[in-house]
Amino acid sequence: MRTTRRKVLLATASAIGSLAVPAIVRAATTKLTISHGAPAYLKMLAELGQQFSAKYSGVRIDFIAGGENWDPLLQSTLRSALVGDLPDATWQSLTYAGILAKRGISQPMDAFTGDVKALSAMGLSQPLIDATQVGGKTYSLPFGTTIPVIYYNMTLLRRAGYSKNELPSSWDEIAAIGKQVASFGEGVNGGYIEYMSTNAWMFQNILGTLGSRMMNPEQTQITFAGPEGLQALEILAKFGRTNNVDMTQDQARQAFNSGISGIHIRTASGINSVAKAASGKFELQVGQLPVPSPQGRLIGAGHGFFMFTKDPERQRRVWDFIRFAADRDGQAILAKHTGYLPINMIALNDSKFLESYFGDHPYHRSVVERMSITGDQFSFPSDNTVKIVDMMAEEMRKVVTQRSEPKQALADMTKQTRKLL
């Protein structure tokens, strides 16, 4: 067949047209980059991105690793800010809301979130709303959290004479049954509280359940130096007397998982691994921290998404993703892949969501009840924050191991904190 110039031109035009179609599609797709410090949760992030893109077809999410946990991610973010190479957003600990906002790295989201009433209508509790705000502006939307819980080896507790159907409800009752378990000897430990948790997290929680805080709202005065701070250290001292030996955190976890420790207080994010270890070894139950004060709060270790981009159109796309993550579908993905607790109170009050959630996480029933009074952890407004909390951890160690009286430890903590602030 004879090839004419007209046929060649038509064929060329057709080829160019077929190449142009995917190019147009690519140009219409917005790619957002979001940094994270959680390589263990890549499957969760992948599903989160895929489900979001299925709902918002013009947007693709690229999650980029910025470290192996929150602290290296923060350092990576600070370096990227210096050279102008920030991603569009980040998944980060709410603890760092202040430093990211004050350095102009994260962008306020009030134009998207609305006021406090609007945030509440999204399903956020007031304590968590407080954790996202800096200077009266909203800089993050929470994604998940964890709180401390009490793990009980009911096999040992019953052997020690505990016969109630319900779990211990006061610190005195917890310490008393722990001492009973410790009396077995033979390498059996009464209990362990993870007082060395970073950022004085466990002390913050006991203090919070008593109705007090680390500093006043203006962050001009420390408030843990009062009666509640002394009571918190007295609780640690009582619990310390349930120990037969002073163990490291890892040793204590191993002892509980092996069935030779009666009580262990640590984060709820460990429930799945502890339940797996206990299976076939001993009866496990998970209980709440006592909250004796009507003004008591729990202190979560929350995380959320922060917006970095300053481009209005990209901000709108980032907000779509952040809103999706905090809504029911995003919360279901979080619950499916991690031990973190969902934070959306609307989802947590939905019977269908809870049926599915408790089916996968049966030990989380008592934990979810505490979400309405759960805020987020506090960080001292000083470059000496790490020095302060390390000092506090050492003072708590002295109290737990009976090497210092609570009153003296509180005086030392107060003096050193004021000096370092």
The answer for residues whose C-beta is within 8 angstroms of residue 52's C-beta and 6 or more apart is: 59, 61, 320, 321, 324, 325, 330
- DSSP letter string over 299-321? EE--EEEEE----HHHHHHHHHH
Q: Identify the pLDDT of residue 28.
A: 65
Cβ–Cβ under 8 Å, residues 196 and 266: no
**Beta strands per DSSP E along 246-314:** 261-267, 284-287, 298-300, 303-307
DSSP H or E run through 388? helix 385-400
Nearest to 342 by CA among 140, 66, 128, 195: 128
SS3 78: helix
CA atoms of 145 and 157, how far apart (whole Å): 29
Angstrom distances, CA of residue 105 to CA of 89, 244, 310, 381: 10, 48, 10, 17
Q: Buried b / exposed e across 69-88, counting CB within 10 Å, b at 16+?
A: ebeebbebbeebbeeeebbb
CA atoms of 203 and 174, how far apart (whole Å): 17
Q: Identify the pLDDT of residue 41.
A: 94
Angstrom distances, CA of residue 231 to CA of 171, 203, 292: 11, 11, 12
Per residue in 93-118, pLDDT (tens digit) is 999 999 999 999 999 999 999 999 99
Q: Identify the pLDDT of residue 19.
A: 42
Q: Identify the pLDDT of residue 21.
A: 46
Give the residues of the chain that fall short of pLDDT 70: 1-28
Domains detected in the chain:
27-145+301-368 (3.40.190.10), 148-299+380-420 (3.40.190.10)
Q: Identify the pLDDT of residue 282.
A: 98
CA atoms of 207 and 214, how far apart (whole Å): 8
Per residue in 330-348, pLDDT (tens digit) is 999 998 898 899 999 998 8
How buried is 234 (Cβ within 10 angstroms: 0-12 exposed, 13-18 middle, 19+ buried)?
A: middle
Q: Identify the pLDDT of residue 209.
A: 97
Cβ–Cβ under 8 Å, residues 366 and 286: yes
